[in-house]
Amino acid sequence: MALTGTRKLLNEVIFGTDTPAGKYFDVFLIWTILFSVGLVMLASVQSWAVRHGSTFVTLEWFFTALFTVEYLTRIYCATDRRAYIFSFYGVVDLLAILPSYLALIFTGATYLMVIRLLRVLRIFRILKLVRYLRDANLLVRSLWQVRRRILVFYASVLVICIIFGSVMFIVEGPKHGFTSIPISIYWTIVTITTVGFGDITPHTPLGQTIASLTMLIGYSIIAVPTGIVTAELAHELGRDKSLARCANCGRAGHDTDSEYCKHCGYKLEDLDPPTEAS
């Protein structure tokens, strides 16, 4: 269904990115989102909430009104209204304004405040529209390709954590902070990921030896996901270029390290992503 008149114009500005007006709208929206997210964060600081409470409420209602108008306009000018409302970003748009209205009825403000922070997800929609898309796609595609390998890796890490955690529970025991197996497993995850909070530490020589072993294992297996992702990224990176078509002459098959089209000499940096070219 082709849109006409005001709906078409609004659609181009709000959903599109090709017109200057559409670009200004996106930039304006990014700043509004960042500002409103920053506001929610600051409002959670006790001392600020006490001093500037009313300012926060006023600003919050200002942003809610702004996003409500935007949400209604989006529904009005969407090509397929039903599809927009139930899409991922449609729901995020609704969640961005709902908490303020719900806060009038319920009083558990803390939980609602955090839902407001989901507004930050809206930034991805805007980024999606610009040329960062291609690079994000490459990352997502690479990670998706290796999902099974990563899962096998996580399963192994979890089994290692459960076994080492149980052993540490027996060796160190509740006396040294390893009060239960879940806590011991939590400690093992903290250690194997090299985070090392230090709130629980082994104190017996045997416990410290096993802890050292855990760290050296963690140190070594940190290499595995890195290896998986790198091998896949290098592979995707190569394919990305070779499948891409020159924006000038439309021919593909360039080398990974080509910077200019080998057919017409056009700069390849502006080449179309393969998904759009095919």
Of residues 49 through 68, those in contact with a second copy by CB under 8 A are none
How many angstroms from the chain centroid is the CA of residue 63?
23
The structure tokens listed for 140 are 């997502």
User: Residue 106, exposed/middle/buried by CB under 10 A (0-12, 13-18, 19+)?
Assistant: exposed
The structure tokens listed for 70 are 């935007």
How many angstroms from the chain centroid is the CA of residue 272?
24
Number of residues that bind a second copy (CB under 8 A): 90
Going by the DSSP 8-state scheme, the letter that residue 45 receives in this structure is: S
Q: Which of residues 209-268 bind a second copy (CB under 8 A)?
A: 209, 211-212, 215-216, 218-220, 222-235, 237-239, 256-257
DSSP for 118-131, please give it. GGGGHHHHHHHHST
- Could you tell me which residues come within 8 angstroms of residue 249 by beta carbon, excluding any fewer than 6 positions away? 261, 263, 264, 266
How many angstroms separate the Cα of 153 from the Cα of each of 149, 150, 222, 230? 6, 5, 10, 15
Q: How far is the CB of 130 from a second copy (least distance, A)?
A: 10
40 binds a second copy per the rule CB under 8 A:
yes
First-to-last alpha carbon distance for the chain, in angstroms, is 24
90 binds a second copy per the rule CB under 8 A:
no
Instruction: Please give the Cα distance from 114 to 44 (Å, whole number).
Output: 10
Q: Which of residues 96-155 bind a second copy (CB under 8 A)?
A: 110-111, 113-114, 117-118, 120-121, 123-124, 127, 131-132, 135-136, 138-139, 142-143, 148-155
Q: Indicate which single residue of 13, 157, 246, 268 sits in contact with a second copy (rule: CB under 8 A).
A: 157
Binding span for a second copy by CB under 8 A among 3-11, 77-85, 98-106, 175-183? 175-183
Q: Indicate which single residue of 95, 129, 190, 247 sits in contact with a second copy (rule: CB under 8 A).
A: 190
Q: How far is the CB of 35 from a second copy (least distance, A)?
A: 14
Residue closer to a second copy (CB basis): 7 or 149: 149
Residue closer to a second copy (CB basis): 66 or 221: 221
How many angstroms separate the Cα of 249 from the Cα of each of 240, 257, 273, 275? 18, 19, 14, 17
Q: Indicate which single residue of 19, 72, 182, 250 sits in contact with a second copy (rule: CB under 8 A).
A: 182
Q: Indicate which single residue of 69, 109, 159, 249 sits in contact with a second copy (rule: CB under 8 A).
A: 159
Binding span for a second copy by CB under 8 A among 33-41, 67-75, 81-89, 92-100? 33-41
Binding span for a second copy by CB under 8 A among 3-11, 53-61, 81-89, 166-174? 166-174
The helix/strand count (H/E) of the chain reads as 13, 0
- Could you tell me which residues come within 8 angstroms of residue 231 by beta carbon, excluding any fewer than 6 positions away? none
Q: Indicate which single residue of 37, 78, 244, 261 sits in contact with a second copy (rule: CB under 8 A).
A: 37
Q: How far is the CB of 257 from a second copy (least distance, A)?
A: 5
Q: Indicate which single residue of 185, 246, 261, 271 sits in contact with a second copy (rule: CB under 8 A).
A: 185
Residue closer to a second copy (CB basis): 65 or 155: 155
181 binds a second copy per the rule CB under 8 A:
yes
